[in-house]
């Protein structure tokens, strides 16, 4: 089910594009609603009380979009879902900038519990960078939903947005290797060790 949810989530723009060409909006809304209910029913027992607030924000937003689309029978309402999802991500990331630790630091410590405390400011800056990306993505996606064609919306949200995410991830990874030069057995470590040699003993880390 998790794999299916991931596939549907990543392919949502292209699925909406194909669905609107074949079905009327209310039928497509019904299909999305049934899928979301099945997903919720399969995982509700694993939710913890502290997770409810985090989970309910995107659920409520998406549910509002689906209800609106069903009432007006206008598939264009469905085009606002990517902007809403990015809005929920923006809220989640931005909250950690105020309360700490930053979202990226939390993810990093899951893989590297021994992470140096001195990396905190950098990981906070990376979290802020992703907040900026979400703002840009929300703006472009919302403008395309309002004024663009279905084709342009599908291409951006289904292809270009993921390309931009990949570029951002790759650029941050290269910069991190260049700045810290701390190799811990990662898959790309041998390559970057040659390009960015580690500091000499006693040097800054």
Residue 45 lies in a domain: yes
In sign, the C-alpha dihedral spanning 191, 165, 205, 102 is negative
Residue 8 lies in a domain: yes
Residue 205 lies in a domain: no
| Residue listed under structure tokens 């279905």 | 150
Dmax of the chain from CA atoms? 67
Residue 172 lies in a domain: yes
C-alpha distances out from residue 136 to 6, 80, 171, Å: 23, 14, 17
pLDDT bucket at 181, cuts 50 / 70 / 90: confident
Instruction: Give the residue from 37, 27, 33, 7 showing the smallest Cα distance to 75.
Output: 27
Concatenating the DSSP letter of every residue in 3-61 gives: HHHHHHHHTHHHHHHHHHHHS-HHHHHHHHHHHHHHHHHHHGGG--GGGHHHHHHHHHH
Residue 27 lies in a domain: yes
pLDDT of residue 49: 52
Q: Each residue of 134-144: pLDDT tens digit?
A: 999 999 999 99
Residue 202 lies in a domain: no
Residue 201 lies in a domain: no
Instruction: Give the residue from 187, 2, 198 showing the smallest Cα distance to 111.
Output: 187
The four Cα atoms 5, 9, 13, 14 give a dihedral, to 10 degrees, of -40
pLDDT at 204 over 50: no
pLDDT of residue 54: 56
Residue 136: φ, ψ to 5°: -65, -45
Residue 78 lies in a domain: yes
Structural domains in the chain (count):
1
Greater confidence (157 vs 27) lies with: 157
What percentage of the chain exceeds 90 in pLDDT? 28
Range of the domain at 133: 2-195
Q: Each residue of 28-83: pLDDT tens digit?
A: 777 777 766 666 655 555 555 555 555 566 667 777 777 777 777 777 788 888 89
């Amino acid at each position: 089910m998790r794999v299916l949810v991931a596939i549907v989530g990543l392919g949502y723009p292209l699925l909406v594009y194909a669905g609107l060409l074949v079905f009327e909006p209310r039928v497509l809304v019904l299909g999305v609603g049934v899928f979301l209910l099945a997903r919720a029913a399969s995982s509700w027992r694993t939710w913890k009380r502290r997770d409810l607030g985090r989970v309910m924000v995107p659920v409520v937003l998406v549910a509002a979009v689906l209800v609106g689309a069903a009432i007006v029978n206008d598939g264009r309402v469905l085009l606002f879902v990517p902007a809403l999802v990015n809005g929920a991500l923006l809220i989640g990331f931005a909250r950690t900038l105020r309360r700490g630790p930053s979202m990226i630091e939390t993810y990093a410590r899951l893989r590297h519990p021994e992470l140096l405390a001195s990396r905190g400011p950098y990981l906070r800056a990376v979290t802020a960078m992703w907040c900026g990306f979400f703002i840009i993505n929300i703006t472009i996606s919302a403008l395309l939903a309002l004024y663009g064609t279905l084709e342009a919306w599908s291409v951006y949200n289904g292809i270009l947005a993921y390309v931009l995410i990949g570029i951002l991830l790759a650029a941050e990874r290269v910069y991190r290797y260049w700045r810290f030069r701390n190799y811990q057995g990662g898959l790309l470590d041998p390559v970057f060790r040659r390009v960015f040699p580690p500091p000499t003993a006693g040097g800054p880390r």
